[in-house]
Amino acid sequence: MADTQEFADAGPLAGYVVVDLSRALAGPHAGMMLGDLGARVIKVEAPGHGDESRTWGPPFLGPDDQPVSSYFLSANRNKESVTADLKSEAGRELLTRLVQRADVLIENFRTGVLDRLGFSVERLHEINPRLVVLSITGFGPDGPEAGRAGYDQIAQGEAGIMSLTGEPGHPTKVGVPIGDLLAGMYGVSGLLAALLERERTGRGRVVRTSLLSALVGVHAFQGTRWTVAGEVPHAIGNHHPSIAPYGLFNAADGALQVAVGNDVSWRAFAVVVGLDPADPRFATNRLRVQHRDDLVAEIEKAFAAHPRDHWLSLLSDAGIASGKVRSIDEVYEWEQTRSQGLLVDVEHPLLGTVQLPGPAVRFDDAPPKRHAPPPLLGEHDESVRAWLAES
């Protein structure tokens, strides 16, 4: 059994206790981020089956009678797992004792479920006035559609992301559950602010976000195209709606990407590919956007003469942002990825040494953090209960 305290003693959140009641991805991702920062994260799961993402696959690894989902592995490192039936008296008693010791509670139940279990916000703050609660829902805690179940692809469609992604006329989801992941990240930023506030006030508060909020929150310039300019954005494939040339192009042996962010860069880029930088169709970004189809055709005609690496070398020498389109295996084999600590080794009790995608944040002057593997279901039932009994 992994002793997660051995791994949680370093980081800016060392000493903080997080009770993670969430499952699937948005809440677990938030909990994992806090564990990466040094907090002790105790994941409370239903007996017998636990977090439903334990059954999401293939791929599964390990023995046939105890399969391990790679999906679950992606969002649950640096956590302990305890089992409790929150509908039972014993389960409610365990959760009460955990809340008494906790700094943070994460939940992503549908609106009203936690209240029905006897743990309303008011009750949680009666138990522990300093508790910060992170609540993640699908479409928000109130409003006419508050009760809807929150699944990422449904939210991507409802929040307009699919209408902006892919080729024109073919709504496309983002290749990762971006609504879940963003909700987890927004939630962490809110609860960290609430923990700072607690230092002044002595009281915790509730932080709320949702898949809908997170996805609308990253509309960025696509949102203001509508709210300010009155334009309805739509998908245009692998090119930028407001900057040109900025997107994916085909060379003789494959695709590369180019980002020309200003007119100075355009003039350097045009020289590299043999175009006239003063061509009246392309002299300014506004003109290049208006004549994007002509511009893309001209660039691809030039790129077709040589392989991708030839162009990437010339573009790099000219100071033009450019790059390959890597497959996932190529990303993890890339030395730059490895140099940033984006792969971590953990010792899993069933799988042995496995590599997981690592945290996206690191701290100067801090040694590389050791990471605990995602826990087996109920792996820490005894140790967590023993810890609670000490108080």
Helices (H) and strands (E) in the chain, counts: 18, 13
Q: Is 38 helix (H, G, I), strand (E, B) or coil?
A: coil
Of residues 17, 11, 35, the one with CA closest to residue 130:
17
Q: Is 224 helix (H, G, I), strand (E, B) or coil?
A: helix
| Whole-number Å distance between alpha carbons of 301 and 304 | 5
The token pair that represents 273 in the structure block: 């590919």
**How many other β-carbons are positioned within 10 Å of the β-carbon of residue 67?**
15
Check 180, 263, 317, 329 and give the catalytic one. Answer: 180
Helix pair angle (292-303, 263-273), 10° resolution: 40
| Whole-number Å distance between alpha carbons of 258 and 261 | 10
Q: Are 43 and 197 in contact (CB under 8 A)?
A: no
Q: Is 180 a catalytic residue?
A: yes
Give the Cα-Cα-Cα angle 292, 296, 302 (nearest 5 degrees).
Answer: 150
Supply the Cα-derived Rg of the chain in whole angstroms. Answer: 25
| Whole-number Å distance between alpha carbons of 180 and 155 | 9
The DSSP H or E segment spanning 90 is: helix 89-101
Instruction: State the pairing for strand pair 254-259/246-251.
Output: antiparallel
Supply the residues annotated as catalytic: 180
